[in-house]
């Protein structure tokens, strides 16, 4: 039976994406969207029921009671598949962190070109957490010690990863009792691979316990230190004006799109693009200059810190090339589609790989090395500029939206009280009073199996109406940015009255963009600080908060989900479950689903669920928030209680005649 082909409107809610998908169709070029239509997912693999870890298989388990050739049960196979995915995700995030730590070490020892320590205050704050002496020492000396400490966390064999101590104490105790504190970041990933080799760990519960330990090595290890070092080297984000969507590409300029994840390269390309020598080179080539933009989490890194525009999220990487206006797409690691190279052959775009870990056949490889960062960044830009003359017909959608990203936890702390009284107190108070009903972190990828950006933005909008403060990272944040939800004034007419009051008082958008996927650790830090501030429980699982990844597709997302659950959060993923187990055909295939939801909830207070229906996701999010409010003894959320004070009310009152205004304001009846 032929599969249904979706229209551009069904592929994406984003008008810029729709325009490019129409262009792709006219040119007869395939994209991830059309390939998703052409290829039905394998139902056995999708449900985690296929085992291919040895050469006796692959074994496909589709009947009640069936086992693999070695006797492995459905439950064991599902648990093994899940931990392998989580480990790959944790490895990707953490290896990014390792490279950041090496860069910090090299900067500390004057071995790099172009980098400086931008945030000395954060360096000192972080160093102090680990008792690294700071008084009277130059920043580079402190940075050297911190780099050594962080590098050591990867290869540590015994004991505890030091970053764990940044979690609430009660949480650390749970982890210690469960034996899931990572000993070393690399060790847990290696052990996950060992345990899942043929003939090793075959108890699903035991396998999943190690999945938690591996994921914690990501969230409270590799990712957390990646965020720390990025801030130290490139600056801790604070609000800045930016733009998002394909309309940020420019006709009259050399368009260079940086795509991937690590800020080391992209930050240097930002610096190189502003170099007078490069600008002159671009002008000599007939362009007005170099226009830089980002895709995926690289976009988030340079958007948060420099206000460099985001051309789009994961599903827009091909669409950017389809504009015909991109001279070079410079990629490093993660979320880079192999299809880019073939697609680029239809245009003049050069795909430039830069990581020693990532090569794509047909791409130009210019290897990045932090020791010669600025020189290499300029080489890359010259290659792009040389390509400007080869540009053919262009079609750039005139669609872009302003946004204000840059909400690091340090900034959130500051914005709530200013320099002298910075504190999470106002946020805690707002949640306690019910002005803010709760907090939702909406994060993660795009997935061409669902309508691009729809789930992210539908859920975001609906939760805002319910006075839920939303924090976002990754491709989800770019989805909201494109819809104008990351703007102060512009987004506020779409939010509930209590939340609106808070946003107006503090002067923030209702959706706070907190960075890249690695920066999900910022959300963990915010939750920890909320707990430390008091009034919302003494551990993360008591805070009225939920994590959602409505359009997830990557293994990194699964690792994030697992470490958030272990940290006490209720986490809802959209789409399909990788461990759902074909319940229509195999009656008893729900053990792993049960273990990661109810099972993990009993131990950690958080659980992982896969829910396809967005309304059900919203309903369960609100139910969880209300349950946590009740458990804390907070007043029941009342949508009509707030929203009658502050700027909005004053503006309304100004419309009234004085006597009525006086009565409304002071309760003094008209004479």
The DSSP result for 594-657, as a single string, is: HIIIIIHHHHHS-EEEE---HHHHHHHHHHHHHHHHHHTTPPPP-TTTS-SSHHHHHHHHHTS-
Please report how close the Cβ of residue 83 comes to ligand NFS at its closest, in angstroms: 18
Q: Smaller CB distance to ligand NFS: residue 505 or 576? A: 576
Q: Smaller CB distance to ligand NFS: residue 559 or 567? A: 559
Say which residues have a Cβ less than 8 Å from residue 55's Cβ, sequence separation at least 6. none
Give the count of beta carbons closer than 10 Å to the beta carbon of residue 156: 18
Q: Smaller CB distance to ligand NFS: residue 316 or 387? A: 316
Q: Smaller CB distance to ligand NFS: residue 363 or 475? A: 475
Angle at 165 between CA 160 and CA 171, to 5 degrees: 95
Q: Smaller CB distance to ligand NFS: residue 556 or 607? A: 556
Which stretches of the chain bind ligand NFS, using CB under 6 A? Answer: 261, 296-297, 314, 335, 444-445, 474-475, 516-517, 554, 556-557
Please report how close the Cβ of residue 298 comes to ligand NFS at its closest, in angstroms: 8
Please report how close the Cβ of residue 516 comes to ligand NFS at its closest, in angstroms: 6
**Is 282:385 a contact under the CB 8 Å cutoff?**
yes
Please report how close the Cβ of residue 88 comes to ligand NFS at its closest, in angstroms: 12
> Which among 9, 473, 525 is positioned nearest to 460, based on CA atoms?
473
Please report how close the Cβ of residue 408 comes to ligand NFS at its closest, in angstroms: 17
Please report how close the Cβ of residue 556 comes to ligand NFS at its closest, in angstroms: 5
Please report how close the Cβ of residue 300 comes to ligand NFS at its closest, in angstroms: 8
Q: What are phi and psi of 109, to 5 degrees?
A: -105, 20
Q: Smaller CB distance to ligand NFS: residue 75 or 301? A: 301
Q: Smaller CB distance to ligand NFS: residue 297 or 310? A: 297
Please report how close the Cβ of residue 299 comes to ligand NFS at its closest, in angstroms: 8
> Tokens representing 541?
């699982």
DSSP 200: S
Please report how close the Cβ of residue 296 comes to ligand NFS at its closest, in angstroms: 3
d(CA 307, CA 568): 33
Q: Where are the alpha helices (DSSP H) in 115-222?
A: 120-129, 139-155, 169-178, 185-195, 204-217
Please report how close the Cβ of residue 382 comes to ligand NFS at its closest, in angstroms: 27
Q: What are phi and psi of 572, to 5 degrees?
A: -115, 125
Q: Smaller CB distance to ligand NFS: residue 13 or 146? A: 13
CA dihedral sign of residues 33, 34, 40, 41? negative
Give the count of beta carbons closer than 10 Å to the beta carbon of residue 38: 10
State how far Cα 15 lies from the chain centre. 23
DSSP 222: I
Q: Smaller CB distance to ligand NFS: residue 457 or 554? A: 554
Q: In what order do the strands lie in the sheet with 310-312?
A: 364-365, 350-353, 326-331, 254-259, 290-295, 310-312, 242-244, 401-403
**Is 207:80 a contact under the CB 8 Å cutoff?**
yes
Q: Smaller CB distance to ligand NFS: residue 517 or 545? A: 517
């Amino acid at each position: 039976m032929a599969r249904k082909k979706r229209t551009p409107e069904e592929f994406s809610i984003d008008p810029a994406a729709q325009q490019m998908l129409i262009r792709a169709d006219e040119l007869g070029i395939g994209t991830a969207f059309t390939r998703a239509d052409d290829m039905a997912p394998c139902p056995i693999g999708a449900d985690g029921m296929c085992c291919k870890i040895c050469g006796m298989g692959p074994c496909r388990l589709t009947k009640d009671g069936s086992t693999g050739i070695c006797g492995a049960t459905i439950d064991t196979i599902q648990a093994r598949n899940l931990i392998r995915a989580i480990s790959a995700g944790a490895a990707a995030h953490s290896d990014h962190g390792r490279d950041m730590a090496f860069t910090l070490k090299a900067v500390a020892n004057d071995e790099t070109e172009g980098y400086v320590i931008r945030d000395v205050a954060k360096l000192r704050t972080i160093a102090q957490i680990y008792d690294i002496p700071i008084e009277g020492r130059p920043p580079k000396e402190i940075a050297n010690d911190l780099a050594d400490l962080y590098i050591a966390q990867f290869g540590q064999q015994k004991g505890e990863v030091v970053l764990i101590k940044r979690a609430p104490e009660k949480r650390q105790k749970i982890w210690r009792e469960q034996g899931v504190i990572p000993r070393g970041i690399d060790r847990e990933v290696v052990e996950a691979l060992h345990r899942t080799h043929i003939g090793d760990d075959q108890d699903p519960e035991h396998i999943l316990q190690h999945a938690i330990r591996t994921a914690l090595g990501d969230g409270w290890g590799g990712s957390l230190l990646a965020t720390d070092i990025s801030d130290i080297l490139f600056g801790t984000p604070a609000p800045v004006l930016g733009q998002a969507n394909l309309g940020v590409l420019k006709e009259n300029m050399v368009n260079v799109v940086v795509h991937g994840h690590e800020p080391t390269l992209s930050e240097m390309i930002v610096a190189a693009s502003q170099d007078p020598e490069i600008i002159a080179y671009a002008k000599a080539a007939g362009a007005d200059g170099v226009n830089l933009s980002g895709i995926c989490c690289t976009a988030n890194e340079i958007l948060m810190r420099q206000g460099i525009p985001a051309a789009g999220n994961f599903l827009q990487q091909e669409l950017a090339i389809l504009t015909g206006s991109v001279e070079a797409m410079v990629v490093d690691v993660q979320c880079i589609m192999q299809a880019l190279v073939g697609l680029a052959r239809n245009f003049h775009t050069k795909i430039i790989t830069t990581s020693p870990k990532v090569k794509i056949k047909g791409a130009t490889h210019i290897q990045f090395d932090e020791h010669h960062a600025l020189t290499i960044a300029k080489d890359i830009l010259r290659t792009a500029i040389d390509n400007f003359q080869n540009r053919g017909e262009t079609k750039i959608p005139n669609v872009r939206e302003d946004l204000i990203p840059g909400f690091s936890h340090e900034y959130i702390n500051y914005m709530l009280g200013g320099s002298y009284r910075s504190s999470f107190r106002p946020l805690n108070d707002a949640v306690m009073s019910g002005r803010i009903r709760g907090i939702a972190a909406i994060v993660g990828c795009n997935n061409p199996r669902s309508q691009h950006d729809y789930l992210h933005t539908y859920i975001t909008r609906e939760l805002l109406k319910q006075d839920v403060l939303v924090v976002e990272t990754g491709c989800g944040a770019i989805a909201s940015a494109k819809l104008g939800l990351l703007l102060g004034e512009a987004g506020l007419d779409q939010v509930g009255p209590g939340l609106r009051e808070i946003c107006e008082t503090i002067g923030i958008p209702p959706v706070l963009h907190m960075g890249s996927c690695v920066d999900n650790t910022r959300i963990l830090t915010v939750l920890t600080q909320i707990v430390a501030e008091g009034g919302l429980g003494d551990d993360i699982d008591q805070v009225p908060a939920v994590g959602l990844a409505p359009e997830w597709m990557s293994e990194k997302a699964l690792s994030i989900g697992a470490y958030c659950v272990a940290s006490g959060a209720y986490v809802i993923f959209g789409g399909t479950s990788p461990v759902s187990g074909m319940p229509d055909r195999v009656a008893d295939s729900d053990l792993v689903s049960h273990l990661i939801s109810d099972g993990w909830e009993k131990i950690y207070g958080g659980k992982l669920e896969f829910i396809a229906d967005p309304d059900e996701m919203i309903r369960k999010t609100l139910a969880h928030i209300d349950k946590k409010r009740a458990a804390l003894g907070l007043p029941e959320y009342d949508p009509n209680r707030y929203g009658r004070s502050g700027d909005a009310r004053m503006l309304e009152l100004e419309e009234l005649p004085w006597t009525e205004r006086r009565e409304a304001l002071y309760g003094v009846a008209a004479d």
